Amino acid sequence: MAGGSRGDGRLELVSFPSEDRAFALEVQASVTTEHPRSPAELEGFLRRRFPRVVVRPRALSDESRVTWYVFRDGRVMPA
């Protein structure tokens, strides 16, 4: 679960900042309760609490797993 939280087996969620465990748990809870069908839908659910959140799908041609990157602050922030 490095960098985020694990989805339901079909969806991998990677949240940023990776050290914000509370945010990762909130992302997972939103997926579990709301069942978003797209990154935009998850983004909409999370915006209620995190107004700058951005959710983007990872697009690797040889990957069968669906992975969404979830950026709490809209982008990866420098350390």
In tens, the pLDDT along 29-51 reads 999 999 999 999 999 999 999 99
Sign of the Cα torsion 21, 35, 52, 70 reads positive
Half-sphere exposure of 6 (CA within 13 A, CB side): 4
- 53 in any annotated domain: yes
The domain tally of the chain equals: 1
- 3 in any annotated domain: no
- 37 in any annotated domain: yes
Highest mean pLDDT among 4-18, 32-46, 63-77: 32-46
Query: What separation in angstroms does the CA of 30 have from each of 13, 27, 42?
Result: 11, 5, 7
Sign of the Cα torsion 60, 56, 6, 77 reads positive
- 76 in any annotated domain: no
**pTM, 2 dp:** 0.81
Structural domain harbouring 52? 11-71
CB atoms closer than 10 angstroms to residue 39: 17
